[in-house]
Amino acid sequence: MPAAPVDQPEHRLAPLLDHLARRMRLRAETVLAPLGLRPRHLVALTVLRAQGGSSQQALAGTLAMDGTNIVGLLNELEAERLIERRRSPEDRRRHVVELTDAGARRLREAECALAAVEGEVLGALDPGQRETLYELLQQAATATPASCAEALRDAPGGAQTC
């Protein structure tokens, strides 16, 4: 056996992530509809609860979406008084976006409704596994904005690893 060429399964988790996220999103849509929310809103609200008081283009960065679309998203959320835009005192061009009390409440309601969906999609995982899954994803998500921008800056063309 010469050098044992390390026949890795070469499993990448991008497709897996995509697959599961899709399943989750599909079910979540139907559950969230009665609350007047869509998955996108949930992500935004969750991010805002974590890092409240960010500017809109900071949000655009962490949500990885175009600035103009952020406006629309926030408009919808503000129309239902779930978030507030205040002008920043230091730089009055900026809008400081923050969760309102109603927003935090709705978010909790949504999360509550989402628990059922989790039960369906992640039925094969026991509570402990779900918890570690949560922690892994959380860790990845909170650290990514920086590392992602960094990676994009360092290797704009292509960074091949194999």
Partner DNA sequence: ACAAATGGTTCGCGCATCACCAACGATTAC
Partner DNA sequence: GTAATCGTTGGTGATGCGCGAACCATTTGT
Question: What does the binding site for its own copies look like in residue numbers (CB under 8 A)?
Answer: 10-28, 31, 39, 42-43, 45-47, 63-64, 108, 111-125, 129-130, 132-134, 136-144, 147-148, 151-152, 158-162
Rounded Cα distance between 62 and 48, Å, is 10
Backbone phi and psi for residue 40, each to the nearest 5 degrees, phi listed first: -55, -45
Rounded Cα distance between 162 and 152, Å, is 18
Tokens of 104: 């935090």
Tokens 């899709």, located at residue: 22
123 contacts which partner out of its own copies, DNA, none, CB within 5 to 8 A by kind? its own copies
Task: Give the residue with the Cβ less far from its own copies, 52 or 87.
Answer: 52
Residues 90-109 that bind DNA (CB under 7 A): 91-95
- DSSP-assigned beta bridge partners for residue 95: 87
Residues 19-38 that bind DNA (CB under 7 A): 22, 26, 38
How does DSSP assign 134-145, residue by residue?
Answer: HHHHHHHHHHHH
> Could you say whether residue 81 binds DNA (CB under 7 A)?
no
1 contacts which partner out of its own copies, DNA, none, CB within 5 to 8 A by kind? none
Task: Give the residue with the Cβ less far from its own copies, 88 or 138.
Answer: 138
Rounded Cα distance between 121 and 103, Å, is 26
Q: Which residues bind DNA (CB under 7 A)?
A: 22, 26, 38, 40, 55-57, 60, 64-72, 74-75, 85, 91-95
